Every structure is written in structure tokens, then in C-alpha cells.
Amino acid sequence: MCLADNPPQAMCRPAPLGHTGILLAPSCAAMQLGNKLMNRWIVVLLLALAVIVLVSPGIVGRLAERNVKDSVEWASFSNDDFVVTQETFERGWFTAAGRHRIELKKGALHSTLAGIAGAMDPDRTAALIVDTRIDHGLVPVSSMSRDAGSLQPALASTVSTLQIERGNGELIAIPGQLNSRISLTGETSSRYVLPAGSYADENLDLQWQGGNIHFTIDASASDLRYDGRVDAWSLRSGGERLLIGGARFDGRQVATEFGFSVGSIVLSLEDAALENPVGGTTAVSRLTLEAGNELVGDRVNGSSTLDATGIAIPGLGEADLGLDVVVNGLDARTLQTIIEEFRAAREAVDPEAAFADAYDRVESDIQSFLLAGAEMRFDRIDVTLPQGEVTATMHLILPEADSAQAFSWPTLLLGMTAGADVRVPIAVVEILQAGNSQAGALIAMGILKRDGDSYVTRANYAKGLLTVNGAPLPIPLGIGTR
């Protein structure tokens, strides 16, 4: 009988022998040992849970803070028009709170938005203010005190609210919130849900139906994926009104060693219109864009497809547009230098003067870029009008030159090959002739040639010889050389 635990006699009684002659039931001593081991494992498990819940937040908080810092640095690096700065960051044991400022740099985009916003001072810089609460720990229990909280294991769970500072210190709250999760691998996944709403003042009337945007950034802050939708919205300012029926998008952006990013985007836009009391209404029923590029070795290849329907064109009526563009073999190293020079010019106090100086500095790089070779094709240019369909294809190829070869424009043009095939309905040409007398000269010179119910242009260029509709045209290659 087991005196320690005093179990029932049946539990301590030996079981019948099996065919091997070994007792099948465990002894009371073995059961006592098993109970002790189980109790110890329960204690260890509880201690481990205590460490995860109570101790890990402080450790993980440091990792989360570093992840946020890396994301801010990546955002500042990856976009030339914005600068992201961290204004405050206070880290506690279970939670942290921070404020980040996203400023639009002065330049063309800043001036355009300043004009749209009306009251925004163009000499001041508007900013997006992001306030973030971070719940950190392998099990972020503190996040359960707020909406969208979760016990899913992660480095951190965050919720951010947004405000716009219009450049004069006034803050305008943006509805909705941004919920993010930093996974154990360091990947950040975020979702922004915008409820329907409106905003109006003496210069601006903005209304929107809502939206949903999701994006992820990998642990190295070099790979961004995003997708989402923005429902119908309208903006009225200065007598003009912009209306968008809705938009959907899906894309990816990957940083490269050359200081620029490659990736892809799919964009769909519906029922867009710009109403102007003087110039009338410019509208498009639907627009879709699929574009992408990639880095292959030290070369960049890319392609784009654009389709737009229901485009309102004054004097011609509604039109549909289709484009297929391909670019291959761009030299990434010289492209990096050119981009960096013009990026610096955009940030200068006087961008116009800075761009002129930048061109002088990168002229040799542009020449090297052209000598490295490239290919550009317009595989499809389709414009469908009430008067008929205008179609065209074009291509231009620059072969790669010997690296020791000195640059000269005549040599470059002699090595280049190009071609174009254009077809224009007679009715469209007649409209062009009525508005521009030079259109008739193109017919007289044979550049536009009658072919059935259309005019066509078939041009080919190789080794300095240009032929248009079978007729050679001389090209003065010595003109314009430097």
C-alpha cells in the first residue's frame, strides 16, 4: 500500500502479466515521481509565462523603438518630397508613446498643394503629425485596453492618430486611425481605415466616403508592399472642383544598392473629373495603370500599360486611350548619379537655378548613360475618337558603345536605330488642318500619306539615313554637336 499518497488499493495492485512476463501497471513510486515532475513543469511554465508577460515588454520595448527608428529613417530616404522626423518618444515598461512629423519639402508638389489648399501659406511648410501609442511585449496584454487590441505574439502593437498642420500652427484632425503590428521577425504590418466624413472652411470643401489601406514593410526596411481602396471623394477650392468616383491600388517598392527603388503598381481610378468655370470640365470614366520595373545586374528594365476610357477632349468629343511602353537596359550606376544630382537640386533654395547648375555637373554622366545603351518602345498607342481610331507604334534603340569611345552626338546618332508607324483617320486630319495650317504642309511633304480612309506615316532610321513612307530625308548630323 502506498503510504505517501494513500491511493486506492486497486491502483497499487500489480496488473496481470503480459505475454512477455513484465508488469503492465506502474508502481506507486513511479506515480509519485511523475506527479512531482509534472508539478515542477507547471511551476516552470508559470514562471516562463510571467517572464513573457511581465519582463519581456521592457526588453522588447527597446527592439520596438529601434524598429520605429529604422522605419522613420527608411521613410525619409525613400521619398524625395517628404522629410520624416521624430519629435518625441517616451518608452515605458509596457507601453510607449511617440510623435512624428512628416513635412512636405518646398518645391513643385508643395506649391501645387498650397494652391489647392488655398489658405495654406506657400512660404510655410505643411506637415502631417502622427501620434502613436505602442504596446510592446511578446504578449502585448496592455493592447487589450483599446480597440483593435490583440494578444497575438509580436514585438509591438501600435495605434496612430493623424493631424494636419497647415503651416500656421493650426492642427486639423484626420478621422480614422492607423493600426500596426511589428511581428517577431521585425516585419511591420499596418492598416488605415478611414470612415466617411467631410471638412470645410472659407477656402476649402472636402468630402469623402471612406477608405481602407494596408501595407507591410520588412525587417530591413527595404521592401514595401501596399494595397487598398479609397472610396468616392470631392474637393472644391478656388472655384474649381475635383471629383473622384473611387480608386484601388496594389503595389510593391524595393530599395536597391543604387539609391533608388524598383517595384510595381496596379492602379484603377473611376469617374474622375475636374470642373473649371472657365475651361469647362475635363473628365475620364475609368483609368487603369499597370507599371513595373526591375534591376537585372546593373541594368533597369521596365514596362507600363495605361488604359483610359471616356476622356473628354474639347473639340473632338470623348476618347479612349491605350498605351504600352517598354524600357530596357538603362545603366543603373550613371542613373544613380543623375538622380542624386537632381534630387539635391529639388531641395535647393532656388530650384530653377539649381537644376541648371545640376545639368552642367551631370552632362558627362548623361553622355555615359547614353553610351551605355538602352531600348525604348511604344508597342501600342491607341486613341479612339468619334471620328475614328488613331494608332501608332514606335521604337528607339541605342547600342552599347565601347567604354573607351569618346562621346559625340554624330557618332551616337549614327549608331542609333528607330522607327514609327502611325495611322490617322482622314476626319481627324481635317480637324487638325482647320485648327493648324502646318498640318497641310505635312501632307504636301509626304510625311502624311493617304492610305484608304486614313493618313499614314511609316518612318525608319538607321546609320544616319531616315526614310518616311519610302522617301529618304537628309539629316544634318553635324548640327548641334558639342
377 pLDDT band (50/70/90 cuts)?
Answer: very high
445 pLDDT band (50/70/90 cuts)?
Answer: confident
- Read off φ and ψ for residue 258, nearest 5 degrees: -95, 10
Checking if the pLDDT of 44 tops 70, the result is no
Q: Tell me the C-alpha distance between 39 and 45, whole Å.
A: 10
**DSSP characters over 177-213:** EEEEEE-TTS-EEEEEEE-SEEEE-SS-EEEE--EEE
Q: Tell me the C-alpha distance between 326 and 380, whole Å.
A: 10
Q: Which three cell numbers stand for residue 24?
A: 503492465
pLDDT value of residue 405: 79
Q: 417 and 451 in contact (C-beta within 8 Å)?
A: no
Checking if the pLDDT of 174 tops 80, the result is yes
pLDDT value of residue 122: 52
pTM: 0.73
Q: 228 and 237 in contact (C-beta within 8 Å)?
A: no
Q: Are strands 417-425 and 299-313 parallel, antiparallel or unpaired?
A: unpaired
Q: Tell me the C-alpha distance between 298 and 406, whole Å.
A: 22
**305 versus 201: which is more confidently predicted?**
305
The CA distances from residue 404 to 100, 120, 231, 411, in Å, are 50, 53, 56, 13
**DSSP characters over 404-438:** TPPP-HHHHHHH-EEEEEEEEEHHHHHHHHHH-TH
Of 224, 223, 227, 198, which is closest to residue 212 (Cα–Cα)?
227
Q: Tell me the C-alpha distance between 148 and 131, whole Å.
A: 17
479 pLDDT band (50/70/90 cuts)?
Answer: very low
Checking if the pLDDT of 415 tops 70, the result is yes
51 pLDDT band (50/70/90 cuts)?
Answer: very low
234 pLDDT band (50/70/90 cuts)?
Answer: very high
CB proximity list for 37: less than 8 A, separation 6 or greater: none
* CA within 13 Å, CB half, 358: 18
Checking if the pLDDT of 401 tops 50, the result is yes
pLDDT value of residue 53: 46
182 pLDDT band (50/70/90 cuts)?
Answer: confident
Task: Tell me which residue has cell 538622380.
Answer: 339
Q: How much is the mean pLDDT over the chain?
A: 78
pLDDT value of residue 282: 84
- Read off φ and ψ for residue 11, nearest 5 degrees: -75, -25
Of 232, 240, 313, 212, which is closest to residue 272 (Cα–Cα)?
232
- Backbone conformation region of residue 169, classed left if phi is above 0, alpha if psi is from -120 to 50, else beta: left
Of 409, 416, 420, 411, which is closest to residue 462 (Cα–Cα)?
416
Judged on CB neighbours under 10 Å (0-12, 13-18, 19+), 181 is: buried
Task: Tell me which residue has cell 469617374.
Answer: 271
Instruction: List, for residues 74-128, the tens digit of each pLDDT value.
Output: 555 555 566 777 788 776 666 778 888 887 665 555 555 555 444 455 555 667 7
